[in-house]
Chain A
Amino acid sequence: MHAEVLVAGRGGQGVLIFGTVLAQVVVREGREVSYFPSYGAEVRGGLSQCSVVVSDGEIASPIVEEPDLLVLMDPGLLEKFGPWVRPGGRIFLDGKVRRGLEGRICMYVRASGLASERGVPRAANMVMLGALARETGIVRLASLEEALEMLHEGEVLEANRKALRLGYETGARKL
């Protein structure tokens, strides 16, 4: 199994945490992973992205050029990043879009909507990660929860766990 994942959104949407948790989980599962974030002069609302390569074998470039999976916390970024996706690849969007992208599969995850309704608005990224795990099988839910326990504690852990399960139970809908 080899999957190249690109995650993008706006600063504050938890894009880098999404990538970090995913990478942490892969390590726990004993597989190979690389994570490369955008870095430097980040601002809330500015573009934020990270590359995560998950593999059973050696990983060459850590910079994802043609993602198998694209995760967009801001659906408005579809125009920019959508065409990068490998033909046949899947795009997970936190929001509906009018028009999909030829040759790629668009998947809708109501991440921020669900997170807000359940009182954990800032954990929309974990709803998305739960849905991604459910739809792609890239990582297991159990190891996801273990990884969260390594990163957070107390209320923050509970909020994230809740969001993760919510995403996993709900999954995504093909657009």
Chain B
Amino acid sequence: MKFKRKKTVLLINLAVILQIFWGVNQGKSQDKSESDSLKQLVDSLFIISSAGFVKFADLEAPARKQLIEMKEQSVPYLIPKLSNRDARDINTLIELFKGIGDVATTQLVEALQTDDIWQIRTTCRCLGEIKDKRAGPDLIKVLNHSDYQIRNYATTALGNTKDTTAFNSIVEILKDSIEVPRKAAAYALGELNDKRGIPYLISALSDKHFSVRMVAMESLVKIGKGAIPSLIQLMDDWSDNDSTEKSNSYYLAIEALGKIKEPAVLPVLLDLLKSPDWRTKGVAVEALGNYNNPKITVSLAKLKKSETHPFVKDKIEKVLEKMGKS
């Protein structure tokens, strides 16, 4: 069966080579026929790449590989497919352009000049995978697009370029009325790894949508040590007001501090184990699990004996198990 499939792949390749050969021989004098055969080749490989059917599964990877290896040769024939609405086509295009890389940037940037929102969305997603700074100015131009998914994908792509000149444009997107681009802006600020983003991300920890809050926390972790004072300040603001139920931003700050893994913060986190609030204790245990420190093992083992809350108990067991393994 396997042999049969390999044979099929070989036959397809042979057919494709013959097709090119045939095209070249037939129309040596005509560039048109050459480009026609190339188009035919790209189209037929694309159909197999994006088919998604289980019976063609073995043919998909070789077809994709071939398209990627064709590099700039395949790009002109893939660009018109950017307006396709089929989810498998879109995902295949993103994967192909990711593989083809920055040789496609110029033509992708040109593809942004259209009224077709599907094309702009997919193009932004492809540029997001290529991560080429040269696309930055054109991505900034579409940040004001009325379609929020375009604002979302363009912001993510800008973040992936790690071009800090986009900082102000990205910060503006954090004010978007829709959470999807706001989430992308929080992500992009983390990718830029620019300390100027810290106050914005701290504020985003209180966003009304969880996606923005969670991504802001991860971005603060990416920025690292520089974010610690602001995170501790946020925690202090809540600790001063113990009577009210703490907001999720408080717990996210603990999580971020744990993930930054700065030894100087360890006493702060250990102190949280004394909290009467089960959530504070549980999140602190989880945060401490990021460190590799024997002191923590001792503290947690001690806590395990007295702890009754199932949330905290679960976290302690998980962390001790992890530390035991390491």
- Bound pair (A, B): no
Residues of B with Cβ closer than 8 Å to A? none
A residues near B (Cβ < 8 Å) are none
